[in-house]
Amino acid sequence: MPRIIGSRVIVTCPGRNFVTLKIETDEGVYGLGDATLNGRELAVASYLAEHVVPCLIGRDAHRIEDVWQFLYRGAYWRRGPVTMAAIAAVDTALWDIKGKLAGLPVYQLLGGASRDGVMVYGHANGRDIADTVAAAQHYKELGYKAIRLQSGVPGLASTYGVSKDRYFYEPADADLPTENVWSTEKYMRSVPPLFEAAREALGWDVHLLHDIHHRLTPIEAGRLGKDLEVYRPFWLEDATPAENQANFRLIRQHTTTPLAVGEIFNSIWDAKQLIEEQLIDYVRATVVHAGGISHLKKLASFAELHNVRTGCHGATDLSPVCMAAALHFDLAIPNFGVQEYMRHTEETDAVFPHAYRFEDGMMHPGDAPGLGVDINEKLAAKYEYKRAFLPVNRLEDGTMFNW
Ligand code: EZ4
Ligand code: CO
């Protein structure tokens, strides 16, 4: 039995903060798990170091499910992003170890490949419609089969999803939260012309996506979904906050535009009603924020029963360790939909050398045993943690609003 003999939390900032758990066994094999919670990184690092790592020493690294149940049930305090990111890191690292010991890539342990590759979507964004469509055109030339469109909104100084550096979007960019101003009316007017221009320039053979970032009420989302139907969007993401899952009933009553939600979900319970009532088409939970590969697999199997597919979150705050885990998961499960893919910076890729690759709009996790991702600890140590907050958002009259 491979016994856990050590476990360490590695915090590094190669352009942005990442928290990584490294679990070592007495057989010389180690595993990695991503534990990054954007803007709250040290809470998870401390949860792991203080409350999880001491419990791991001496355990059988092969008993992934048992360790998961130990950390979930044993904590008494269930769920929540901090707890679930910590559990995810352990779970992911143990899958990595199991794969390495078996000499198999993790997707083989999950049932083997259900497809040749994983369709990913890239982020096209710009200050205005022309700029955004030009960026989308560029993504199409790079081979992307699915592209997310986010444009600046006329009359608003800045908005989420529109980066300063067009190809490396990084929202957590300030030592203290910056403040953006939001107008639903201005935003709602700006989206249909964006899709109209994109269809005209890109044609109909590419999937177009859009992220609302929890900014609309259900009835507003219903209206926007209806307005966009003629442009056949692949999905509308995070149309409205989902704490109250019944919110999505109202959207569904008004539009056939497919709906995606859940990048901030941390448990199957966050999506129970959404899935059971088929209120969504894609669930966006991902490995690091939803309890690891083991829990996400359960969520996906439940979704499969209700015609809901996956669309894992894949922004830059999910480290290459999470990206690798997500790609193994995406390749294996039957009800995969699409995978978000925002490229990491060169600095990040150097800290986390990996086997996954992009080719012609599709990604593959590679065939290295385990996850196929490593950490260069020497290099990681050169980049010290730097506090970075996500922005906040206010209405034009100063009312605090959703980010
Ligand atoms: O705002 O990852 O779909 N992607 C997104 C991201 C999220 C960040 C938050 O941590 O909405 O840009
Ligand atoms: Co999103």
Mutate to test the pocket of ligand 1, among 159, 213, 283 (most ligand atoms within 8 A of CB): 213
Q: Is the pLDDT of residue 379 over 90?
A: yes
- Residue 95 pLDDT greater than 80, yes or no: yes
Q: Hey, what are 23's tokens? A: 């679990």
Ligand 2 centroid distance, CA of 132 (Å): 17
pLDDT at res. 82: 98
**The predicted structure's pLDDT at residue 145:** 98
Say what the pLDDT of residue 173 is: 84
Ligand 2 centroid to 286 CA: how many Å? 12
| pLDDT of 160 over the 80 cut | no
**Domain parsing of the chain, residue ranges:** 4-105, 109-367
pTM score of the predicted model? 0.97
Please identify, by atom number, the ligand 1 atom nearest to the C-alpha of residue 318: 2
Structure-token pair, residue 297: 């697999």
Q: Write down the pLDDT at residue 165.
A: 66
Ligand 1 atom nearest to CA at 284: 3
Task: Report the pLDDT value the prediction gives residue 247, as an integer from 0 to 100.
Answer: 96
Residue from 143, 272, 121 nearest 211 by CA: 121
Grade residue 168 by pLDDT with cuts at 50, 70 and 90: low
Asked whether residue 179 carries a pLDDT value surpassing 80, the answer given is yes
Residue in this structure with the two tokens 């320039």, named with its chain if needed: 201
| CA-based torsion, 301, 302, 307, 311: positive or negative | negative
Report which protein residue has its CA nearest ligand 1's atom 9: 38
Q: What is the pLDDT of residue 30?
A: 98
CATH number of 4-105, picked from 2.60.40.10, 3.30.390.10, 3.40.228.10, 3.30.1490.100: 3.30.390.10
Mean pLDDT of the region 360-367: 98
Ligand 1 atom 1: the closest Cα is on which residue? 171
For the CA of 161, the nearest atom of ligand 1 = 12
**Domain 109-367 in CATH: superfamily?**
Enolase-like C-terminal domain (3.20.20.120)
Q: 371 φ, ψ to 5°?
A: -85, -20
Torsion sign (Cα): 225, 226, 228, 231 = positive
Q: Does the structure show a pLDDT above 80 at 163?
A: no
| Percentage with pLDDT > 90 across the chain | 96
